[in-house]
Amino acid sequence: MRHSKYSKKHERIMFELKIKGINNKIICEALGIDERTFYRWIKEKQNFKKLYIKAVNAKTNAIKALIKKAIGFTEYIEKPTAKGNVVKYNEYFPPDFQSIKYLLRNISDFDKELEENIDNNRFDKWFTSHEKEIHEKIRKIYESDIIQEKSRRNK
């Protein structure tokens, strides 16, 4: 069985594609290697594995931040005053409609009705009538992401 020649170029290409969310099959095509070779490199090549994990984590963190912004959040703030004191308080950041739109457009299980309402600028009205369902779907995505992350840590 012939092994593909490994190089730093493969690492760079893989990282650039993976961080953009490209799936492994397409990355393999871009690298000109078989998927078995790709997974063998993750297992055997320490730097390849490190970059792969870094790219996956970057994407995961970006998705988490987007979900957090989409559902709204409260953040503990500490601000210095002009007199040198520190004011501490919780600040609420409401759900961001642009983040919600982006998430929903990229969730494959929403139907054509959503796309039509977004494209016809009726999103606000549509969102109000489907708010509970949307929050539930976003929550499920977030929970599934947490479960996947925990299972990766336990491996």
Torsion angle, alpha carbons of 73, 146, 150, 59, to 10: -90
Q: H helices then E strands: how many in the chain? A: 7, 2
pLDDT above 50: residue 109: no
| pLDDT score for 107 | 61
Average pLDDT, the chain: 79
pLDDT above 90: residue 116: no
Contacts of 114 (CB under 8 A, 6+ apart): 104, 105, 126
CA 59 to chain centre: 4
15-55 pLDDT tens trace: 999 888 788 899 999 999 999 999 999 999 999 999 999 98
Contacts of 113 (CB under 8 A, 6+ apart): 126
More confident residue, 74 or 115: 74
| pLDDT score for 49 | 93
79-88 pLDDT tens trace: 999 999 999 9
Predicted confidence band of residue 146 (pLDDT cuts 50, 70, 90) = low
The closest alpha carbon to 28, from 57, 17, 59, belongs to: 17
